[in-house]
Structure 1
Amino acid sequence: MSDAVVIGAGPNGLVAANILADAGWDVLVLEAQDEPGGGVRSDRGVHPDHVSDFCSSFHPLGVASPVIRALEPERYGLRWRHAPAVLAHPLPDGRCAVLEREPDRTAAGLDALAPGDGEAWLRLYRQWRELSDDVLQALFSPFPPIRPGLALAARLGAADGLRLARFLSLPVRRMGEEEFAGEGARLLLAGSALHADFSPESVGGTIFGWLLTMVGQQYGWPAPEGGAGALTSALVRRLEERGGKVVCRAPVTSVVVGDGRALGVRTADGTAVRARRAVLADVPATHLYGGLVGWEHLPSRLREDMRRFQWDAPAFKVDWALSGPVPWASPEAARAGTVHLADGVDALTEQSALLATGRVPGDPFLLLGQMTTTDATRSPAGTESAWAYTHVPHRVKADGGRDGITGAWDEREREAMADRVEAAVERRAPGFRRRVLNRRVLSPPALEEHNAGLVGGAINGGTAAVHQQLFFRPVPGSGGAGTPVRGLYLASSSAHPGGGVHGACGSNAARAALRAEAPVRRLLAPGFSAARRLLAGP
């Protein structure tokens, strides 16, 4: 028996477990896979001399997140490593937009592409620095973020607050057009917005594009030394030092519910594990509701709401072991940890339209990571460990290329799509294919096979679009980690604030569990439960 059982040892589950252990709780984490980490793992599966990350590689939100910073993973062995430049986007004419580590260098490069864009960049960055502490606290706090929201309101006043609200609601294409004369800066922002499932025309896309680029300007986009799994290892060591325990190969098959309360869990081998205080689920909302918790324990309206839950577009990823650095036609791209590949903002719009209409992009937008450029421990000197991913539709209706991809993702389709990804790199880096020693192809089904939380290959826990954020995440009336079952908390990226390695979803769940155990809260718990049932409907 433990005070709390955490289902899933992804970053959110491990953050939640650490926060509960800090409060003196006895915590048990149960993980279905052979090792902890979820999407934050690394291996040598591509080549014995090359370290490759399974899913997540760069962690800008991790270093910016007040949640992860407070846990001080650096004290438990984590070391962050940075590439010479943060992000690059080669342009069709051979020039390159670069997000440098230093703001003035970024501005100088953008000004060379379009006079005036350097000062425009510095203006945006100054605005960010004035607001960043409150913005990050608001983003990574439970919804509604009352304290940081009030601080922002006091700092801005009514008029500037409205201007900021308008700015953040803009599609990232429109924001780029209003702020910059040239394509370079616009591509840095729009490409960053497409790390989530925003199109350049999506309302609110500016939030993600601005956030990622400004965090990159302030903190960089670092990677853990030795592989993404080093972050997981630091969180596990921290937890174990406080008496917590992680058990792998222990898939949970159900949450045990009695009298409307989570009493514990049952694992695949039939073992019942009692939780005295709380169960926290770092699993997709679709796996929790109607899966681990039967519909008989949940409001009927929730079943209909979950039917409407929308996933983000699946990822298709290729990992490479390269005999040398990527031979970029634009030399500046060689210095960046992350490189975006698309011919312009219009190409990003075309990609988004193809995905929305169920067609596999023939010339896909790629996000490419140069890991040895970032962290020299990833492969032998003079070589490169690299990856690239793109997005594909959940339900393929047609192939925008010539390979007849149907979405079956059998060996022929996997190899055809991987060849398409390599061709997109080769066009910007002639000679790239000659440097490929080996590759690993991760189609959407393969991603889910490695981590059941990546449903259909979706990597962000559900769409980041406005209709499924804040109090709409995962369903209308949410926004917090609580569920209709007392003592059960949703701790995954299906909850607010969503995808990314920032730990906020786990933190919000842990703090909700701690608040529920406060003496006054315990006295009022029956009333809160009745109110939730009334709001949820029959």
Structure 2
Amino acid sequence: MSDSFDAVLIGAGHNALAAAFHLARRGWKVAVYEQAKMAGGAVKTQELTLPGFRHDWAAMNLSLFAGSAFFKTHASDLTAQGAAFVPVNRPFASAFSGGKWCGVATDIAETTRNIARFSARDAETWQRLVNGFAKEAPHLFGLLGSRMNLSAFAYFILKTLRGKGVAGSLDLAQFLLKSPRAYLTETFEAPEVRAMLGAWGMHLDFAPDVAGGALFPYLEGMAGQAFGMAIGQGGADTIIRAMVKGIEAHGGRVETGIAVARILKDGDKASGIELADGRRIAARHVIAGVAPSALARLTGGTEPAFDKAMQDFRHAPGTMMIHLALDSLPDWAAGDALKSYAYVHLAPSLDQMARTYQEAEAGLLPSEPILVVGQPTVFDPSRAPAGKHVLWVQVRMAPGTILGDAAGEITATSWPEAADPFTERALTLLDGYAPGIRSKILGRHVVTPTDLEKDNPNLVGGDQVCGSHHIAQNFLFRPARGHTDGSTPIKNLHLTGAAVWPGAGTGAGSGFLLGQKLAGK
């Protein structure tokens, strides 16, 4: 063995880095090995189009990280290492045909005015929900932030029963089982308000009619109203650079551009890793920040039931990223007000979202994909030369493997050939809401689902959330029953990342929970 560590970590995604950072701060000797040239996984910022234009590769919204237990615990150290955020007071809006739009701002009066243009009753409902959010938030965030084992789940149920009573607890359980459509249609009357909130379900693989998805439109709406959004100053990679510096400052090691060939075992225990260059690294604990399906390749197999669960782990449809360097912000048909929002969703109805999702699930290029249009330079001008802008366009959904085209226009069934025509479809859609957008483009870089997976094998088929969050694969079942803490049948081998509870997003939840568990807090 060439080196020996308390813990070695496979992959430098933000969850693995959070675990390594926490352990290093607790005095552990740690080393992180990443096959890509850059640390960060889906959280990276690069000059993808032209010099001076900094584009977030995949993740842009850092609200979950900025509000996470991990950041609160290590805020002073991370800030000292350069982590910095830019507050966003207008987090999201949706544009509709006919020059209509609706958006959420941290100014409650502004938000209710926006909603009242569509429905006075919905504006009153929004105010009621906001007033009740402080009472509901501890229960919901308590669930999402807790360890997901039987004892923790039982404690959550008991605490909820004490706080809400039997009737209130049953109402909460029913809400957690509802689909976005069921919740939104019984709560709001305006189709546009329903669509504005329903678009958030698509970020986590919850199409309008998928059970268990009501929570996310509600939480994103209420959190956007209460807290706004946080993006990284200079780019989302601010948190990655800070964690890497912090790990190294506390004696740890982060190596990029080197793949891990296999996990070494001593009997029934993990004892280290072997790198692709032949080096063997000894460790008391091995933490694998990989997609579940990759684990058997590294271990050579564990227990049949566990290995099958990892192979059966289901991924969400993929995404395609379009990064644009712009001469100026889009001229939205709905008016200049949309230029002041971080996200503009182009997802005009629940029915359209459901259709798009079904087409992608069937392996078809959607005839009308959903676009999440990010305008980070509205709040952080440092990401582009003076007066210029970057546009972050997330195309949802896109099949990892193309079987056909829902519109019957694109004949290509491989991403290298389908990328250009599908990009043109997305830009034509964008042009319908922001006329003349093509004339503003100074540079363009497209990242297909296969590009995402090639750069980061955890994003199987371009799935940016590393696994569906449907009920059968969430909570006590993420990634598999009995393993929500990242444990595996091999002693001292642990799994982390978005595939492990509490799942996707930039909150570093699984990495921090694992780091606390190993270090004893």
Q: Same fold (TM over 0.5)?
A: yes
Give 1:286's match in structure 2, choosing from 280, 293, 299: 293
* CA apart distance, 1:134: 4.2
Take 1:53 and 1:419, find their aligned partners in 2: how far apart are those partners? 21
SS of the residue corresponding to residue 204 of structure 2 reads coil
* CA apart distance, 1:406: 4.1
**What is the match of residue 161 of structure 1?**
169
Q: CA 1:126 to 1:238, structure 2 compared with 1: closer, same or farther past 3 Å?
A: farther
* CA apart distance, 1:97: 0.9
Take 1:51 and 1:117, find their aligned partners in 2: how far apart are those partners? 39
**What is the match of residue 472 of structure 2?**
467
State TM-score, norm by structure 2: 0.94
**What is the match of residue 486 of structure 1?**
491
State TM-score, norm by structure 1: 0.91
Q: CA 1:137 to 1:237, structure 2 compared with 1: closer, same or farther past 3 Å?
A: farther
**What is the match of residue 70 of structure 2?**
67
**What is the match of residue 320 of structure 1?**
324
Q: Contact 1:99–1:188 at 8 Å: present in 2 too?
A: no
* CA apart distance, 1:220: 1.7
* CA apart distance, 1:440: 0.3
Take 2:411 and 2:297, find their aligned partners in 1: how far apart are those partners? 32
The one-character-per-residue Cα deviations of 1:134-171 (angstroms, maximum 9, x if unpaired) are 42243123203355554433221211111111122211
The amino acid that maps onto 1:51 is R
* CA apart distance, 1:394: 3.1
The reply to whether residue 275 of structure 1 matches residue 280 of structure 2 is no
The amino acid that maps onto 1:395 is T
SS of the residue corresponding to residue 232 of structure 1 reads helix
Q: How does 1:200-279 map to 2 (within 5 A)?
A: 200-276=208-284, 278-279=285-286
Take 1:184 and 1:13, find their aligned partners in 2: how far apart are those partners? 39
Which stretch shifts more, 40-49 or 213-222? 213-222
Take 1:269 and 1:255, find their aligned partners in 2: how far apart are those partners? 14
The reply to whether residue 173 of structure 1 matches residue 178 of structure 2 is no
Question: What is the aligned-residue RMSD (CA, Å)?
Answer: 1.8
Give 1:47's match in structure 2, choosing from 46, 50, 60: 50
Q: CA 1:179 to 1:138, structure 2 compared with 1: closer, same or farther past 3 Å?
A: same
Unaligned 5+ segments in structure 2 are none
The one-character-per-residue Cα deviations of 1:42-76 (angstroms, maximum 9, x if unpaired) are 11121112111111111222223222332213343
Aligned length: 511
The amino acid that maps onto 2:7 is A
Take 1:49 and 1:382, find their aligned partners in 2: how far apart are those partners? 12
Q: How does 1:383-394 map to 2 (within 5 A)?
A: 383-390=388-395, 391-394=397-400
Unaligned 5+ segments in structure 1 are 519-538
Which stretch shifts more, 127-136 or 47-56? 127-136
Give 1:304's match in structure 2, choosing from 299, 302, 308: 308
SS of the residue corresponding to residue 350 of structure 1 reads helix
**What is the match of residue 329 of structure 1?**
333
Take 2:299 and 2:187, find their aligned partners in 1: how far apart are those partners? 48
* CA apart distance, 1:122: 2.2
Q: CA 1:482 to 1:272, structure 2 compared with 1: closer, same or farther past 3 Å?
A: same
* CA apart distance, 1:247: 1.5
Q: Contact 1:66–1:136 at 8 Å: present in 2 too?
A: no
Take 1:407 and 1:197, find their aligned partners in 2: how far apart are those partners? 23
Q: How does 1:183-202 map to 2 (within 5 A)?
A: 183-202=191-210
The one-character-per-residue Cα deviations of 1:406-441 (angstroms, maximum 9, x if unpaired) are 43112x311111111111100000011100111001
* CA apart distance, 1:448: 1.4
Instruction: Give me the identity figure in percent.
Output: 28
* CA apart distance, 1:115: 0.8
The reply to whether residue 399 of structure 1 matches residue 405 of structure 2 is yes
SS of the residue corresponding to residue 45 of structure 1 reads coil
Take 1:149 and 1:235, find their aligned partners in 2: how far apart are those partners? 35
The amino acid that maps onto 1:317 is M
Q: How does 1:330-479 map to 2 (within 5 A)?
A: 330-331=334-335, 332-390=337-395, 391-410=397-416, 412-479=417-484
Take 1:104 and 1:479, find their aligned partners in 2: how far apart are those partners? 41
* CA apart distance, 1:185: 2.3
